[in-house]
Amino acid sequence: MSFRALRSEKFLALVRKCGQIKEVLFDRYLLLTNVGISIGLSGAGDVLQQHYWIVQGEKKSWNVRRTRDMSVSGLTVGILCHYWYNFLDHRLPGKTIKIVLKKVVIDQLFFSPAYISVFFLTMGILEKSSLKEVGQEIVKKGRELYKAEWVIWPPAQIINFYFLPTKYRVLYDSTISLGYDVYTSHVKHEMFSDSKHDCS
């Protein structure tokens, strides 16, 4: 067998292996895949945010607990996103412009506030905040996140709902969210300095 044929055979074996991995991740274990992606990218967003503040001289060191908490929030919102996209695609099947726009509006009006509330509730539980403190954060900081969501998510979700099958929605959402998670971490931990959990 020639060297070129051997390389070609190895390449085809690699492609087949990647296909098998994709099938396992995005067919057989989709919920676990979606949650894992969400956890990883939520934590990465916080690491980037903290690194920025360390480089700027605003913080002295990386707060591991804060990154852990942001990662755990990825667990709850990852589960939420997984079931939300399945529900939405089941209730509104199709990819016509009318269906896509309807999904975007429903996503923004109903899911975004729920997502933000679950995020702050998760963080409140991890930080042992009172229900009153969690409610205040949802109102004060959640409002900032919700305003930002109206800038970022409608165009991103048009692409998501028009081009991608359901099984790739959380992957796409989480990838776009990486930049948004940096902002989420900023709003949660730095934007309002009166938070008792601000990590300096």
Tell me 1's DSSP state.
-
User: What single-letter DSSP state applies at residue 200?
Assistant: -
Contact 62, 54 (CB under 8 A): yes
pLDDT at 195: 42
| Predicted local confidence at residue 3, as pLDDT | 61
Is residue 198 in a domain? Answer: no
135 inside domain: yes
Q: Is residue 32 part of a domain?
A: yes
Residue 48: both structure tokens together:
């980037």
How far apart CA 77 and CA 81 sit, in angstroms, is: 6
User: Which token pair is 88?
Assistant: 């939405």
Alpha-carbon distances of 159 from 52, 62, 65, rounded to whole Å = 29, 35, 35
pLDDT of residue 185: 75
For residue 200, tell me if it sits in a domain. no
Supply the pLDDT for residue 1: 59
With respect to residue 77, please indicate whether it lies within any of the assigned structural domains: yes
Number of domains in the chain: 1
pLDDT tier, 200 (very low <50, low <70, confident <90, very high otherwise): very low
Alpha carbons 16 and 48: distance in angstroms, whole number: 34
Is 161 inside any structural domain?
yes
Least confidently predicted of 84-88, 148-152, 177-181: 177-181
Residue 40: domain span: 3-191
Question: Would you state the pLDDT for residue 17?
Answer: 76
Q: If you search the block for the tokens 């776009």, which residue do you land on?
A: 176
Backbone angles phi, psi at 20, to 5 degrees: -65, -40
Spell out the long-range contacts of 94-98 with Cβ–Cβ below 8 A and sequence spacing 24 or more: 95/161, 95/162
- Mean of pLDDT values over 34-39: 95
Residues 171-195: what's their mean pLDDT? Answer: 76
Average of per-residue pLDDT values in the chain? 88
